Copies of this chain bind each other. A is one copy, B any other.
Amino acid sequence: MNTGSNMRIGPFEVFYPIEESAPRLRHNVEGIDGSGKSTQLSLLHKWLESKGYGVVFSQWNSSELVKDTTKLGKKKKMLTPATFSLIHATDFADRIERSILPLLKAGAVVLCDRYIYTAFARDVARGMDRQWVRDLYGFAAKPAVAFYFRVPLETAIGRLVTGRDGFKFYEAGLDIGLSDDPTESFRLFQGRIVDEYEKMIPEFGLTVVDATLPVEVQQAQVRQIVRTHLERAKELRVRP
């Protein structure tokens, strides 16, 4: 269906339920970056449901509180790197406090298509200070596992360029003047983003998946890792 969207560069994360005995978020975040991410997430979602888990999917820009502002700011090109960063952080804080955390407390597995790592990569690519952005999201719960779907930049861009009818202003980083040509700007901007993701692999222990492998091979890896985490979480929960 949405062939473009499954090639976006960005992570996804999996949150596991907060333990009832110890109401802290389990550190099983998974984050992805690379092509095929949304497809993998969708397959994981179905698999977890088939296993009887309560699964919830959370997206960026979905908060009732700020979505109109974000839309307006993008449409009118009013956002600077700082306000772009801050409005997305506001959106994220709203979702995490009013949706993700209550769902986790209720026992759901929460799947996030893009999480704080998206903001870290994107905002830094836009010129914001690396530490400032990390501090900004200091309130965010750490996910259990964060998958990073790695593809060679040119492969990802090649797919994106052919699969899409042009790029949006902020998506292509046209706001920071890397190039007047949207495709070239997109290429340069995504290059910066990928550089940031690569730096985050060791910093945050992102789980790397080779996104050039066949879809089913990637999914098998993802499920194996998620299964291990879920079993470990279950063991911890049943312990006296």
Contacts and interface: CB of A to CB of B under 8 A. Distances in A.
A115 B141 CA distance: 29
A217 interface: no
B80 A73 contact: no
Interface in A48-84: 64-66, 68-69, 72-73, 78-80, 82-83
Interface string A125-155: 0000100100110110000000000000000
16 contacts: A64-B78, A65-B79, A66-B66, A66-B69, A68-B68, A69-B69, A82-B93, A82-B139, A83-B90, A83-B93, A83-B94, A83-B97, A86-B86, A90-B90, A132-B139, A135-B138
A232 interface: no
Oligomeric state, in copies: 2
A237 interface: no
A94 B68 CA distance: 16
A43 interface: no
A214 to B, nearest CB: 41
A73 to B, nearest CB: 6
A183 to B, nearest CB: 28
Given A65-B79, A66-B87, A82-B139, 8 more contacts: A68-B69, A80-B93, A82-B97, A83-B93, A86-B89, A135-B135, A135-B136, A136-B136
Contacts of A94: 78, 80, 83
A94 B87 CA distance: 10
A129 B138 CA distance: 10
A98 interface: yes
B86 A93 contact: yes
> 6 tightest A-B contacts by CB?
A86-B90, A135-B135, A82-B93, A69-B69, A80-B97, A83-B94
